[in-house]
């Protein structure tokens, strides 16, 4: 929805960008129609020495934590239908949903190619590689991710049974240098994300022992 008042700040949207991992070329940009009300982030620590009594490893970390994200995004064609926009009146939300769904599909060309290789007797066929998926949530969070959960609830339909209102629930796992390596485009983006987090932490006000009600640690 456009801003109500002149000079009001532009509302930034979260979204997903698909890029070629080798060249960095942008293949598709998908903006969320409405920003989710909540974004749930979970960090699973990669520690060493999880077993009790392993004193030499208790403070060691094997790598960055496994970060997962969950959100619910709403998509609604009501405004477009009221304006009589052709695509919405003809197919509803099918294009927007298809753009999201194709993130987790290999292309038809890839499937046909692998089928031809199998038919010609190729014994080992490499798994099909997808574009690098980036979740964008402001300039401070540009995260290489893999979609791990994906569900769509279609909540309303037009007379032709085209969906006109839907909720998309996404679960994502952030890909770190442990997953991609330092030389991969996604690995570089993860390191940029981590370094930005370090800079933000450095600017956070530090508490004192007095805040904690103690004089110090002896």
pLDDT tens, 95-130?
999 999 999 999 999 999 989 998 998 878 878 789
The arithmetic mean of pLDDT across residues 140-147, rounded, is: 95
Residue 211 domain-assigned (yes or no): no
Tell me the C-alpha to C-alpha distance, in Å, between residue 174 and each of 30, 126, 153: 18, 24, 24
CATH number at residue 174: 2.40.30
CA distances from 49 to 42, 64, 76, 180 (A): 21, 16, 49, 25
135 pLDDT more than 60 = yes
In a domain, 113, yes or no: no
In the chain, count of helices (H) and strands (E)?
6, 7
Residue 97 falls within a domain, yes or no? yes
Confirm whether 88 is domain-assigned. yes
Lookup: tokens for 194: 């981590």
CA distance 41 to 67: 7
Assess if residue 189 is contained within a domain: yes
Predicted model pTM: 0.86
β-sheet bridge partners, residue 100: none
| Any domain includes 203 | no
CA distance 149 to 65: 19
CB-based contact 190:175 (threshold 8 Å): yes
- Determine the structural domain holding residue 139 and report its residue range: 15-49+57-107+128-198
Q: How many domains does the chain have?
A: 1
Specify whether the CB–CB gap between 33 and 76 falls below 8 A.
yes
Q: Which residues lie below 8 Å from residue 63, measured CB to CB, with a gap of 6+?
A: 46, 176, 177, 178
84 part of a folded domain: yes
- Is residue 121 situated within a structural domain? no
- What average pLDDT score do residues 80-107 get? 88
If we measure between CA atoms, which residue out of 16, 13, 12, 186 comes closest to residue 101?
16
């Amino acid at each position: 929805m456009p801003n109500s008042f002149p000079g009001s700040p532009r509302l930034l949207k979260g979204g997903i960008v698909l890029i070629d991992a080798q060249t960095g070329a942008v293949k598709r940009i998908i903006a969320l129609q409405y920003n989710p009300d909540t974004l749930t982030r979970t960090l699973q620590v990669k520690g060493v020495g999880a077993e009790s009594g392993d004193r030499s490893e208790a403070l060691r970390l094997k790598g960055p934590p496994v970060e997962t994200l969950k959100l619910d995004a709403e998509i609604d064609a009501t405004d477009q239908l009221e304006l009589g926009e052709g695509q919405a009146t003809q197919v509803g939300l099918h294009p927007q949903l298809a753009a999201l769904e194709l993130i987790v599909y290999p292309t038809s060309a890839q499937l046909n190619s692998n089928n031809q290789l199998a038919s010609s007797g190729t014994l080992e066929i490499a798994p099909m590689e997808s574009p690098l998926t980036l979740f964008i949530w402001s300039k401070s969070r540009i995260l290489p991710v893999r979609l791990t959960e994906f569900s769509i609830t279609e909540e309303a339909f037009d007379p032709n049974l085209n969906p006109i209102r839907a909720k998309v629930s996404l679960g994502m796992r952030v890909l770190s240098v442990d997953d991609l390596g330092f030389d991969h485009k996604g690995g570089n983006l993860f390191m940029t994300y981590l370094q930005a987090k370090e800079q933000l932490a450095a600017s956070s006000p530090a508490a004192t022992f007095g805040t904690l009600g103690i004089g110090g640690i002896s």
